[in-house]
Each structure stands twice: as C-alpha cells, then as structure tokens.
Amino acid sequence: MSNSVLTFGWAGLLGLMIGSFLNVVIYRLPLMMQAQWDAANHEASARKWSFNLAVPRSHCPQCQHPLGWRENIPVLSFMALRGQCAHCRAPIPWRYPVVELITAGLFMAVVSRYGWSIQAMAWAGFAAALVTLAAIDAATHLLPDAITQPLVWSGLLAAHLGLSDLGLGDALWGAVAGYLFLWWVYWLFKGVTGKDGMGQGDFKLLAALGAWLGWPALLSLVLIASLTGVLGGLALKLRGQLSDNGELAFGPYLVFAGLWVMNFGPLPWFWI
C-alpha cells in the first residue's frame, strides 16, 4: 500500500474521530449556554446537575439510554443501527454521520496540501471549528462566542507564526474589515427597516474568516455566502421549511464560503 493512501486513510480516520467529538459539542454547547442564561436570570428551569462536554456520558436524548462503545463508532454505528437508537428506536439525526464525513473529507484535503505538519493541524482545527459553527447555527441560530472569538485570535496567531500563508497585517486587517463590514450592513439594514437583519455572531464569524484567509478574500467570502444564502433560502421556502418571518441562519453560508476559499482560493476576479 502506497504512503499516499496510508496518509489519506489516517487523515480520514482522524477526521472521523474529531467529527464524532464535534457532534458532542454541537449538541451540548447550546444546552450549556442555555443553562448559563437560565442560572444568570434565576430561571426555575435552570439545570441543577453537572452538564458539560465530558459529563454525563453520551446517551440517547429521547430515552437517556447510555451509549456503549459499539454505538459510538463514527458512521459505522449509524449504519449498523439503521439510524435508530438501539434501545427505544428513536431516529438518530443524519447530522451525526454527515458531520463526521465532512470533517474526515476536510482533514484529508488539508493533509494532502500540507502533509502531516503543524500547519496542517492548524488548518484542520480551523475547518473543524467552522463545521461546528455551521451545525450549531443551522439548528439554533446561535454562533457561540466560545468558538468565534478564539477563532479570530487563533487566526492572528497562526499568521504571526507563519502557519496560515498570510502576513500578520493581512490577517489583522481581514479580521477588522470582516467585522466592520457586516456591522455596517447590520446598522444600514436596521436604519432602513427598523429590524435586526443578522446577529452579531455573524460579525465575529466573518472577522474570524478574515483573520485566517486575509482581507483580499473578503469580497469572495461575502459574495459566495450571499449567493448560496439566497439559493438556500429559496430551497427552504419551496419545501415549506422557512420560518414565517423569513429568518435564515447566515452562519452556514459564511462557513461554506470560508471552506471554499480555504480549499480553492478567492474567486479569480477578486484577486487584488
């Protein structure tokens, strides 16, 4: 077996395992945030028991059945269980194998470009964070600061250490311009309509993308995200899945744009 095949295989296996952990973050982090909000507001529904990324152990959300190791194998367990809980037969969301497979594919792409290196691990971490943000925003319309803010700082640090193919200046201005651009769009839209057009998490996400991909990529990022957002909104409307107020999570489309530029570069006519 050739070294390249082994390299892709190990990268894919690592991606599957990391993707499995990302599913834990995607499910639990919004619940942890809600518990913190409830506790801060002295809500009666505030959780009184320990709940974080480590405890309690993985379980079925419907029947609370603890998952054994055979039920925790990325992708294979989903297939073996036919997408159902082994205990209560409640359906397992397709998000689980999809996140694992996407993460595996991204890890393979990164390793094919950078080999097994610190630079590859930096970009793999960037990609994993984006997948997590997209899934959380799609489900809850939240882009947690616990992920977006470290993603901004890590992008600046990666540029400083020479891990992101950018100079520190390009990364810094990418973060600043990315945040300010959507901040400006937000206030312009609110001034014209009196409504909030997007959440501040979108500002921070574009700032993070700018920190990792540089300010010259921002126009491509916004264009790709906007076009795919329009297509996604139309698809949801045709399927009757768009909310009555037309609210659409923009984070997944920013993430798609970021992963596109990461793998293929900015759109050719926006090279500066």
pLDDT tens digits, one per residue of 153-205: 999 999 999 999 899 999 999 999 999 999 998 888 778 777 776 778 999 99
Do 183 and 262 lie in one domain? The reply is yes
In the chain, what percentage of residues exceed pLDDT 90? 58
Do 90 and 128 lie in one domain? The reply is no
Do 16 and 133 lie in one domain? The reply is no
Alpha helices in 115-198 (DSSP H): 118-140, 145-160, 168-193
Do 259 and 131 lie in one domain? The reply is yes
pLDDT value, residue 44: 55
Final residue of a structural domain among 60, 92, 116: 116
- Report d(CA 42, CA 126) in Å as an integer: 36
Average pLDDT, the chain: 88
Final residue of a structural domain among 116, 146, 174: 116
User: Per-residue pLDDT for 68 more than 90?
Assistant: no
User: Per-residue pLDDT for 32 more than 70?
Assistant: yes
Do 224 and 112 lie in one domain? The reply is no
User: Per-residue pLDDT for 210 more than 90?
Assistant: yes
User: Per-residue pLDDT for 2 more than 60?
Assistant: no
Residues near 115 by beta carbon (within 8 Å), at least 6 away in sequence: 7
CA-nearest of 6, 10, 28 to 18 is 10
The predicted model gives 244-265 an average pLDDT of: 90
Q: pLDDT category, 257, cuts 50, 70, 90? A: very high
CA-nearest of 269, 151, 268 to 213 is 151
- Report d(CA 210, CA 83) in Å as an integer: 38
Do 129 and 64 lie in one domain? The reply is no
User: Per-residue pLDDT for 115 more than 80?
Assistant: yes
pLDDT value, residue 245: 66
User: Per-residue pLDDT for 240 more than 90?
Assistant: no
User: Per-residue pLDDT for 79 more than 70?
Assistant: yes
Task: Output 189 or 138, whichever has higher pLDDT.
Answer: 138
Do 162 and 105 lie in one domain? The reply is no
pLDDT value, residue 46: 52
Q: pLDDT category, 269, cuts 50, 70, 90? A: low
In the chain, what percentage of residues exceed pLDDT 70? 92
Do 16 and 105 lie in one domain? The reply is yes
DSSP 8-state symbol, 250: -
Do 188 and 87 lie in one domain? The reply is no
User: Per-residue pLDDT for 59 more than 90?
Assistant: no
The number of folded domains in the chain is 2
> Do 126 and 262 form a contact (C-beta atoms < 8 A)?
yes
Q: pLDDT category, 3, cuts 50, 70, 90? A: low
Final residue of a structural domain among 58, 82, 116: 116
User: Per-residue pLDDT for 22 more than 50?
Assistant: yes
> Do 216 and 170 form a contact (C-beta atoms < 8 A)?
yes
Do 36 and 63 lie in one domain? The reply is yes
Do 48 and 138 lie in one domain? The reply is no
Residue 163: which domain range?
A: 118-272
Burial of 235 by CB count in 10 Å (0-12 exposed, 13-18 middle, 19+ buried)? Answer: exposed
Query: CA 209, 214, 217, 223 torsion: positive or negative?
Result: positive
Q: pLDDT tens, 143-155? A: 999 999 999 999 9
Q: pLDDT category, 122, cuts 50, 70, 90? A: very high
Do 85 and 168 lie in one domain? The reply is no
